[in-house]
């Protein structure tokens, strides 16, 4: 498998999908670093013979890795934020406060941060229009019904948060 | 997935452009990582080869000192008349 993979093509095709996935939750700079980190981890898995094409596509493995990269980043950001709150440098804002004076995509991004990790992960996987629910189910190792209910709940929560902001 | 609400929520993320420079940066990083992995795969053989050589040399040294090679007990090349008696005496010991 590792002899067949053209990594320039992988970077050109899967890289942008990963970048958009990360951009929904993190800054552009962070998204760029995280995309590179994910692609490198993907390359290592394939080159060291840890990828089985029978279990899923390279794209699915990439998004599976991306989930863990995003989790690590979220924990790191939360740690910094908690540290700053403890140091009295900032107070923890409410969801509504955060949504004030933001553009549409910033609104969605901020609202997304108030979903659970799993809801965020599943919802942002849908940014890739080619992604099917069955693939999301495999990537997240959740039953299809759970994926659908996460999506439904995420949409509802996002709409509520964004509507609240627009009526203020 | 045809879902109007979903499309509205995700539209701006889906339309986000990704520059060629960014892609080139990722490609460069992947190229470097691949070369690093290939070098480490090749260099993994060096300790194995070294261990094999050391093992061979040790084995040859140790087993090369067996009774057949000991001039005092090896009588096969001894052409003297007393060689057979010496052999019998040695074996009896």
The chain-wide mean pLDDT, for chain A, equals: 85
Closest chain A residue to B31, measured at CA: A7
SS3 B16: coil
Decide: A67 and A18 in contact? Cβ < 8 Å: no
Inter-helix orientation angle A117-125/A144-167, to 10°? 90
Q: Which of B5, B12, B33 is closest, CB to CB, to A104?
A: B12
Residue A155 has pLDDT above 50, yes or no: yes
User: Which residue of chain B has the CA closest to A154?
Assistant: B6
Residue whose C-alpha is closest to residue A99's, from A27, A22, A158: A158
Give the model confidence (pLDDT) of A107-145 as tens digits.
Answer: 788 888 888 888 888 889 998 888 899 999 988 888 999
Share of chain B above pLDDT 90, in %: 22
Unique residue bearing structure tokens 């889906």:
B14
- pTM for the structure as a whole: 0.73
């Amino acid at each position: 498998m590792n002899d067949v993979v053209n990594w320039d093509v992988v970077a050109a095709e899967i890289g942008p999908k990963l970048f958009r996935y990360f951009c929904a939750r993190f800054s552009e700079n962070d998204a760029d670093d995280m995309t590179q980190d994910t692609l490198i981890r993907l390359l290592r898995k394939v080159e060291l013979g840890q990828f089985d094409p029978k279990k899923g596509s390279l794209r699915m493995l990439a998004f599976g890795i991306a989930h863990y990269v995003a989790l690590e980043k979220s924990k790191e950001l939360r740690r910094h934020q908690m540290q700053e709150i403890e140091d009295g440098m900032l107070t923890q804002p409410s969801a509504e406060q955060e949504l004030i004076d933001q553009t549409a995509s910033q609104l969605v991004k901020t609202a997304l941060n108030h979903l659970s990790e799993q809801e965020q992960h599943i919802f942002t996987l849908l940014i890739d229009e080619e992604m099917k629910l069955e693939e999301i189910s495999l990537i997240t190792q959740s039953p299809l019904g759970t994926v659908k209910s996460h999506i439904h709940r995420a949409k509802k929560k996002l709409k509520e948060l964004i509507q609240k902001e627009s009526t203020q | 997935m045809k879902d109007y609400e979903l499309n509205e929520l995700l539209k701006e993320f889906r339309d986000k452009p990704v520059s060629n420079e960014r892609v080139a940066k990722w490609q460069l990083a992947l190229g470097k990582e691949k070369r690093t992995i290939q070098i480490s795969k090749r260099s993994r053989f060096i300790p194995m080869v070294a261990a094999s050589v050391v093992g061979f040399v040790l084995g040859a040294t140790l087993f090369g000192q067996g009774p057949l090679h000991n001039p005092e007990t090896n009588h096969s090349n001894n052409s003297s008349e007393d060689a057979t008696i010496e052999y019998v005496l040695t074996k009896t010991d």
